[in-house]
Structure 1
Amino acid sequence: MGCATTPKVTSPCISTEFECKDRMTCVHKAWVCDGDRDCPDGGDEAPEICRGNITCRADQFQCKDHSCIPGALYCNGDKDCPDGSDEFNCTRPKPVCDKKTEFDCGGGMCIPLSKVCDKKPDCPNFEDEPRDKCGENECEKNNGGCTQRCVDTPVGYYCDCDKGYKLTDNRTCEDIDECADPGACSQMCINEKGTFKCECHAGYARDPRDRTRCKATEGHPSLLFARRFDIRKISLDHHEMVAIVNDTKSATALDYVFRTGMIFWSDVTDEKIYKAPIDEGTQRTVVIGDQLITSDGLAVDWIYNHLYWTDTGKNHIELSDLQGNMRKILIRDKLEEPRAIALNPLDGWMYWTDWGQVPKIERAGLDGSHRQTIVSYDVKWPNGLTLDLVRKRVYWVDAKMNTISSCNYDGSARRVILYSTDVLRHPFSITTFEDWVYWTDWDKTAVYRANKFNGKDVEAITSTHTLQNPMVIHVYHPYRQPDGVNHCAAVNGHCSHLCLPAPRIGPHSPRVSCACPNGLRLLPDNQMCVEDSVPETPKTGTGISSSGRDAGVVAGIVVAVISGVIILAALIAVLMYRHYVHRNVTSMNFDNPVYRKTTEDQFALEKNGYAPGSKLYPSTVGEEVRALTAMECTLNIQNSLR
C-alpha cells in the first residue's frame, strides 16, 4: 500500500492449475467445484466460483452438503459423509438368522431357539414345531457328518469347529491362516495348526502386555517436523515439544543422519538446502545454495552418505554428497511435479511421488537405473511417502482421495489403511514406526497417528488447529536408519567420482555402480569420469586413445625442445619431401607414454578444486583443433628429419 507502482505478481501455478488464496497452494483445475475442499481455505469450492453447480464424478456419491465420497462407501453401514447422508434411505438386505441362537422361520423372520419345539407355534406356518424332528439328536449318528464338533438343536443340528479352524462346506473344518491378516503380528507371523505365533526382528522384543506386538528395545522415539518458520521435535513418550531450529523462512522438507546427529532441510523461499546439528540448530550451514528452485522432498542415504532431493521447479531428482559437492541430476524425464522421496540404501532403491497431471508413485535404483511405476491408479494427490523397512512396505497419503494407503515395495498387495474426510482433510507428510503411522494435516493444522494395519485408534498427537503450517515429518530413532554395509567404502568402489548403491534385482546383482557429476561423462570402463564437453578421439595403430589436451601437451614439449636447433634444416627438408609426406602420411600413428600420467594428474587437479576447463588443458573445440595442428606439424618435421 502507498507504493508508486504496483509490483508485478507472479503466480506460482502453471496454466493447468488453480491458484488458492494463500498464493502457495496450486490444485488441478479439474478439481475446482468438484465438491472437495482442496485449497486450505476451501477457496476452490467458493460459491462465487461454483455458483451452486457442484457435481460429483460418476464413480462418486454426492452428500447432502455437496461433498463427494467414493461410490463404494454408499450404504455400507458406516457414515462416511460429514452429515451421514450416505446412509439415508438404504435398503437393508434380508436378515440372516444366527444358527447358533436363532431359528429361521423363513421370509426373514427369526425366533430364539428356546421357542422351538416348546409345543407353542411361533412361526407363521408352524415351522418351529415339526412333529418328526423335535427331540431327535442327529449328532448321535456318525457325528452328524461333522469333521470336528456336532451341535444338536431342538430342530436339526449344525457343525462347528475348534478354535483356530473354520468351516469350508458346513461340515469340514480347515486351519485358519491367521497370518493372512496383516495386523495379526507386528512383524513376523508363523502359522501353525489351529494357532499361530509372532516373532520380532533383532532390536525388537514382544510386548509383555500383548505378545503379538513388538517394541523397540532401545532409544526414545521422537517426531521431527518442519513448520515453515521453525523445525520442531516432539517426544512420543510424554509429548513434550521443543523448537530445534528457529527463524527459517519456509522450511519444508527435512531428513537426518542419526549416527552423526545432523539434520538437513530445504527452504523453498531461500531456494536452498541447509544442515545443522540437531542440538545446535543455530549453527546452520548451506549445503545447496544455487541452481535449486522448489525442493518439496528431501532424503538422506545414511549408509553411502548422499543427499537426494526433488525439485518441483525444475522437475527432476538430484543428488550430492552431504557437503553439497558432486551434484548429479539423476532423474529428469517424464517428471511433472515430484514431491516426496524416500530411500532404502539397504536394498539400493529410492521411491518418490509425482502429483502432476498423471499422478503416480515410482521407484528406481539409487543410481537411477531400473525405473518403474508401482502405483498408477486411484491416486490423485500423493503428498507424503515413507517406507516401513521392517515389513517392507510403502505408505503414502493422498490429499485428494482422503486416504492413507500402503503396498509392497513392487506395488503389489495394495491396501487402503484409512479413509476419512474428517481427520484426512489435507494430509501432507507421513512417517511410520512400530505399529503406527504419523502424519501432518494442513487443514487440521495438527499431527495425527493411527494403527498402520487397520487405521484404527486415530489420535491427535498435537492440539488441532494450533500447529500452523505443519510440513514434512519423520520419526527420529536409530531403528529408522538400520546399519548396513557400505560397499563403496573400499577405494570408493574403484570409481573416480560418485559411487552409488545399485538396486538389488537378484542375488547376483552388482552392489554399486559408478556415476559422474553434472558436466562429466563416464568412460567405457564404467569407472573413470572425464569432461563431457571434450569427447575422446580414438587413434589407429597402437590402440591407445589420446584426447586433444594430451596432444597439446606433447606438441608443446616437442616444439619447445627442437625449434631452436633444427628449424632451418626442417624447413629445407619439408620442401624436399613435401610431395612424399603428403602422399604417405594418412594418420597419426604414435605412442603416447604420458597419457596415463596426464589423466591421473588431471583427476588430481580436479579433485583438489581446479576447474576442468583451466588452461592446463584445451577446454574448447578451437583449442583442441590448434593442439592437433601443432602435433601434425611436429610429426611432419620429425618425418622430414628422418
Structure 2
Amino acid sequence: ATCTSEQFTCASGICISKRWHCDGDIDCGDDDNSDEANCPKKTCSFSQVACADESCIDRSLICDGKEDCNDGSDEHNCPNTTCNADEYSCAGGFQCIRREWLCDGDMDCPKGDDESKENCVHNCQDDSFMCGDKSCIAGKLKCNGFPECSDESDEENCAPACNEESQFNCGDHCIPMELVCNGNDDCGNSADEPTDGTCGRNECNDRNGGCAQVCVDTAAGHYCKCKAGFMLVNGTQCEDIDECMEPGICSQVCVNLKGAFKCECVGGYARDPHNHRRCKAMEGHASLLFAHFTDIRKISLDHQEITAIVNETQGATALDFVFKTGMIFWTDIREKCIYKAPIDEGSKKVVVISDDVTTVDGLAVDWLYNHIYWTNTDTDTIEVADFNGDMRKTLFRHRLDEPRALAVYPSEGWMFWTDWGQQAKIERAGMDGKFRQAIVTRDIRWPNALSLDLVLRKIYWSDSKYHTIYSCDFDGSNRRVILYSTDYLPHPFSITVFEDTMYWSDWRKEAIFRANKFTGQNVETIAHSHATPMTVHVYHSYRQPNGTNHCTPLNGLCTHLCLPAPQTGPQASKITCACPDGLMLMSDGLTCESE
C-alpha cells in the first residue's frame, strides 16, 4: 500500500494513522509491532496519563481495578464506590457486583477477588459443580465432553457415549468392537459375551434384520443405517432428512428436496462461487465501527486496516449510524452527551443531547423515520428523540432495572433491549412504546450485547455470566447456544452480525473477535487494544435495508412525534402519533397540548 503523509507505513505494508505511531498500542497487527519499535521517550498525549515510571496509558484505564502501569501506580489513590447491602465491593473499591455472584465460579471483579480462596470457603452455588481442587464451575458444564476443571474432575463418572460402528457399550464404559464375542469377558460383566446365540449369527440375512434400507451385522448383534439424505426413525425405518432444519446449512434460504436440498439467496446477495451454500453481499465493502472510549475507529474487513474517524473522545461507549447519509451517533458517558458527526469528518461533531443522559450504554438509530433511541441505566429509562435531539420523549420508565443494549427494526416497528438487573431479561416492544413483552426470561443473568439479523429474523445476544453467545427468533423462540467460551467470552459487551459472521467486543480480553454465526467456529481476533473496546457495528448499506417512511410527507398528520407502530398483523396501523415529555395527546390521536 502507498501511505499518505498523514499515515505511518507498517513493516507489513499496511497504513495506519500517524497519531498511532509510538502511542503504546500495537496497531499494525498481531505479528507486526513496527509502529511501537524504536520509539523515543515522550510526553503523554491529551488522552493519556503518565505512570510513575513515566510510561503512558489511556485515561480510561485509571482506577479500573487492573494494574495497567508496570508499577501499578494507575490504581493508587482511587476513590471508593459505596455498594448496597446486597452487593459485594470488588478489590480497590471501585466496582460493585451482586453478592449472589460471589464464589459462583465466574470472576466478575476485574482482579477476580470474588472467587478468591479468602472469600470462598470451598462452597459452590446450588447450580454449580465443585472441582477436585475446590474451584467452582457452572453445573451445566459437567459431563459436556470438554474438561473445564483443571483436574478434569467434571468429566469423571459420566455416562458413556459409544461409537455404534466401532465400539461396544458395556453399560458403564466402551470397548473396541473386535473384543466382542472373543471368548473373554472384556466388559467385566460378560455383556460382550452373550449366551443367547447371537455371537457369530448374521441377523441381516433374515429379512434384512428388519431394517428399511441398510443392515450392518456386528459380532454380537446388528444395527440399521440409512442412505445419504435419510435419517433413522424407531431404530429400523428411514425418513427423508429435512436438511433445512439444520441451522446454517444454507446462509439464507434453504429448499428441501427428497433426499437432498438446495440453497438460495435473498435480493442483493449472490451465492459464493466457492461455496454455493453461502451468500455474499453483491455490492459495497463492509467495515467495522467501534467505540474505543478515547476515540471511534473503523476497520476495513477486507484487509483489516484501522483508521480513526473521531479523535479525543472522553468516554465513547454506545454507537450507531445512518448509512444513507454517512452520519454516526455516539454517547460519551464521561461528558454525559450524545453526539453526531459525518463519518468522514469526525472533527465536525455536534452535541445532540446534553441534559439527563448520565449513563447511556445503549443507542439505536431509526434510519427510516429519523429518530434515535437510547437506554439510560442511571435513570432506568428508554427514550426517543429526533436526529437534532428535539421532540424528546420517555417511552419506558417503569419495570426497568439495568437496561443496556438496544436494537430497532423500523420497517416492522419493533425495538429490542437487554436488561441485566435482578430479574435479567430481553424485552421487545413497538417503537411507539406499545405491545411491550419480555421474550427471554430463563437462563439469563448478564445480557450485555444484542444485535438483529434482519435477513434471518434472528436476535443474537451474549451473556457475560454464562460466557455464551445465543440466538433466537424475534419472539424469543428457537433459542440456540452459538458459542460458549471462557477464553473468547470472559466479558463480552457488544455484538454485531453480517453475512455468515458475528463480531463482538470483550472487556476483559480488550479485543474484538469474529466467528461463524451459525456454529461459533473459526474464532479469530481482529483487533487488540490497551483500552476497553465498547460498542461494535458492521457498517454496510445492507444492515439498514430500504423501507417506507409512512410518516411522510405530512408527518402522518401528527403535530409532534410520528413513530413507527409494531406490525402485529395485516390490519395493524403503520404509525402512531406521540408527544414529547410535558405534552399530552388529545382525543383526535394527532394533536399534542400542554398537560
- Residue 77 (str. 1) matches residue 145 (str. 2): yes
**Residue 192 of structure 1: which of 247, 257, 280 is its match?**
257
Corresponding residue for 1:171?
236
Corresponding residue for 2:12?
none
Corresponding residue for 1:573?
none
- Aligned positions, number: 516
CA distance in 2, matches of 1:146, 1:363: 49
User: Which structure dedicates a bigger proportion of its chain to helix?
Assistant: 1
TM-score, reference length from structure 1: 0.74
CA distance in 2, matches of 1:114, 1:58: 42
Give ranges in structure 2 of 5+ residues lacking alignment: 1-76
Corresponding residue for 1:41?
111
Note the C-alpha offset of 1:198: 1.4
CA distance in 1, matches of 2:333, 2:82: 12
Contact 1:34–1:54 (CA under 8 A) maintained in structure 2: no
CA distance in 1, matches of 2:273, 2:94: 48
Corresponding residue for 2:546?
483
CA distance in 2, matches of 1:58, 1:513: 47
- Residue 148 (str. 1) matches residue 213 (str. 2): yes
Note the C-alpha offset of 1:222: 1.2
Q: One-letter code of the match for 1:287? A: V
Corresponding residue for 1:595?
none
Corresponding residue for 1:417?
482
Note the C-alpha offset of 1:517: 0.9
CA distance in 1, matches of 2:407, 2:226: 46
Q: Is 497-506 or 188-197 further displaced after alignment?
A: 188-197
Identity of aligned residues (%): 53
CA distance in 2, matches of 1:424, 1:78: 16
**Residue 532 of structure 2: which of 455, 469, 479 is its match?**
469
**Residue 304 of structure 2: which of 227, 230, 239 is its match?**
239
Q: Per-residue displacement from partner, 1:452-480 (whole Å, max 9, x unpaired)?
A: 222222211123xx341111111111111
Give ranges in structure 1 of 5+ residues lacking alignment: 1-6, 533-642
CA distance in 1, matches of 2:568, 2:196: 70
Q: One-letter code of the match for 1:469? A: T
Q: 1:123 to 1:23 in 2, by over 3 A?
A: closer
Q: One-letter code of the match for 2:152? A: S
**Residue 91 of structure 1: which of 157, 173, 178 is its match?**
157
- Residue 286 (str. 1) matches residue 337 (str. 2): no
- Residue 503 (str. 1) matches residue 566 (str. 2): yes
Query: Tell me, what secondary structure is at the counterpart of 2:285?
Result: coil
Corresponding residue for 1:215?
280
Query: Tell me, what secondary structure is at the counterpart of 1:350?
Result: strand
Q: Per-residue displacement from partner, 1:249-285 (whole Å, max 9, x unpaired)?
A: 1111010001111000001111110000111110000
CA distance in 1, matches of 2:92, 2:562: 42
Note the C-alpha offset of 1:433: 1.0
Q: One-letter code of the match for 2:123? A: T
Q: One-letter code of the match for 2:565? A: A
Note the C-alpha offset of 1:518: 1.2
Contact 1:35–1:66 (CA under 8 A) maintained in structure 2: no
Query: Tell me, what secondary structure is at the counterpart of 1:479?
Result: helix
Q: Per-residue displacement from partner, 1:225-244 (whole Å, max 9, x unpaired)?
A: 11111111111111111111
CA distance in 2, matches of 1:106, 1:313: 57
Q: 1:387 to 1:26 in 2, by over 3 A?
A: farther
Q: Is 145-154 or 165-174 further displaced after alignment?
A: 145-154
Contact 1:350–1:363 (CA under 8 A) maintained in structure 2: yes
Q: Which has the larger Rg? A: 1
Q: 1:172 to 1:309 in 2, by over 3 A?
A: same
**Residue 336 of structure 1: which of 390, 396, 401 is its match?**
401
Q: One-letter code of the match for 1:497? A: H
Q: 1:144 to 1:321 in 2, by over 3 A?
A: same
Corresponding residue for 2:331?
266
Aligned residues: CA RMSD: 3.0
Corresponding residue for 1:303?
368
Note the C-alpha offset of 1:245: 0.6
Q: 1:39 to 1:175 in 2, by over 3 A?
A: same
CA distance in 2, matches of 1:128, 1:389: 57
Note the C-alpha offset of 1:22: 7.2
CA distance in 2, matches of 1:340, 1:215: 27
CA distance in 1, matches of 2:420, 2:450: 12
- Residue 353 (str. 1) matches residue 418 (str. 2): yes
TM-score, reference length from structure 2: 0.80
Query: Tell me, what secondary structure is at the counterpart of 1:499?
Result: strand
- Residue 383 (str. 1) matches residue 451 (str. 2): no
Alignment of structure 1 residues 123-142 onto 2, 5 Å: 142=207
Q: Per-residue displacement from partner, 1:23-70 (whole Å, max 9, x unpaired)?
A: 7644223223444211233244456xx444253211111345655322
Q: 1:488 to 1:171 in 2, by over 3 A?
A: same
Q: Is 509-518 or 428-437 further displaced after alignment?
A: 428-437
CA distance in 2, matches of 1:369, 1:284: 33
CA distance in 2, matches of 1:43, 1:511: 52
Query: Tell me, what secondary structure is at the counterpart of 1:493?
Result: helix
Q: One-letter code of the match for 1:514? A: C
Contact 1:19–1:27 (CA under 8 A) maintained in structure 2: yes
CA distance in 1, matches of 2:254, 2:356: 48
CA distance in 2, matches of 1:403, 1:214: 26
Q: One-letter code of the match for 2:584? A: R
Corresponding residue for 1:399?
464
